[in-house]
Amino acid sequence: MADAGKQTMADANAKAGSQAARPLSPHLQIYKPEVNMVMSILHRITGSALYLGTLLLVWVLTAAATGPEYFAYVTGLLGTWPGLIVLFGYTWALLHHLVGGLRHFIWDSGHGFDLKTIDVLSWGTLAVSTLLTLAIWGYVLLSAGGADL
Amino acid sequence: MTMRTPLKTVRGLGSAKEGADHFWLQRVTGAANALLATFAIGLGVHLAGADHGEVTATLKHPLVALPLLLFLVSAALHMRIGMQVVIEDYVHAEGAKIALLMLNTFFAIAVAAAGILSILKISFGG
């Protein structure tokens, strides 16, 4: 009977000690952090942050649709230092995820899998996203003359 | 480089019964987002420090409203299936997983709908 076979395997697994002290597959803490591994983790973290960040985007759009007073209130909040730090982080997360996505497109095409290129692409993702973020915020803060969203 | 095996001929598109649809939707919306997010960042930089009148006047323009609407749709699709993978990776209790996957869908649709409603309201002068 098919059931008899299943029963035997289940019994074997349920035997005392048979599941104890089996070697587990190695997890994150056992590896030396490599840059492509860190960028992969950051891609997921920035993606998750952007998921929540859409609330910020939609909040501003809703405020604009609501009226001048509420819009001034919301942009006033975003213009405070904590608000600006959140917006700066949002910008970096968006750009990091965007540039990381372009890197994944290169890999999707089947190119760039040799170790040296992987390192270059991974460091490049961090460098390009960070430089773009600084450039954008440098431009905004210099042209707008300070903390006014 | 080919990674195809005779498995490609298998009927039923794998255990999830949807083949590479998830993978492909993530790429298509990702490519769209790369363009549309770039536009949105440019718009944000352009409107930084602007008052309500300037912002609504800009958002009213069809060539601004349209890419923003497309961005909301594409981003909602992209983030929904992205978060789906995160949930499936980390939440193993079946009940909690199903509840979170459902909430994930609700969140993506609600956020997109709220943004779309706002843009349309501004566009039609409400």
CB A121 within 8 A of CB B22: no
A61 contacts B118? CB cut-off 8 A: yes
Pick from B37, B48, B118: which is nearest to A64 by CB? B118
Please give the torsion angle defined by the CA atoms of residues B114, B120, B123 and B124, in that order, rounded to the nearest 10 degrees.
-130
Q: What is the pLDDT along chain A (149 residues), one digit of tens a residue?
A: 444 445 555 555 555 555 667 777 777 778 888 999 999 999 999 999 999 999 999 999 999 999 999 999 999 999 999 999 999 999 999 999 999 999 999 999 999 999 999 999 999 999 999 999 999 999 999 986 544 44
Assigned fold of B20-123 = 3 helical TM bundles of succinate and fumarate reductases (1.20.1300)
- What is the tally of structural domains in chain A? 1
Supply the ipTM of this predicted assembly.
0.88
Position A38 in a domain: no
B41 contacts A94? CB cut-off 8 A: yes
B115 contacts A149? CB cut-off 8 A: no
Q: Does B79 touch chain A (CB under 8 A)?
A: yes
Separation of alpha carbons B82 and B95, rounded Å: 20
Position A117 in a domain: yes
Q: What is the pLDDT along chain B (126 residues), one digit of tens a residue?
A: 677 776 666 666 766 777 788 999 999 999 999 999 999 999 999 999 999 999 999 999 999 999 999 999 999 999 999 999 999 999 999 999 999 999 999 999 999 999 999 999 999 985
Quickly tell me which residue has 């996203």 as its tokens: A129
B-chain residue closest to A104, CA distance: B27
B52 contacts A68? CB cut-off 8 A: yes
Separation of alpha carbons B41 and A145, rounded Å: 19
Q: Residues of B with CB below 8 A from A68's CB?
A: 51-53
- Residue A23 makes CB contacts below 8 A (sequence gap 6+) with none
B-chain residue closest to A70, CA distance: B52
Separation of alpha carbons B112 and B103, rounded Å: 14
Closest-CA distance, A47 to chain B, in angstroms, reads: 7
Size of interface A-B (CB pairs under 8 A): 85
A108 contacts B34? CB cut-off 8 A: no
Q: Which of A28, A58, A137 to mutate to test the interface with B (most CBs of B within 10 A)?
A: A58
Position A16 in a domain: no
- Residue B101 makes CB contacts below 8 A (sequence gap 6+) with B84, B87, B88
Closest-CA distance, A134 to chain B, in angstroms, reads: 13
Q: Does B100 touch chain A (CB under 8 A)?
A: no
CB B34 within 8 A of CB B40: no
What pTM value is reported for the model? 0.85
A68 contacts B53? CB cut-off 8 A: yes
Structural domain that includes position A124: 70-149
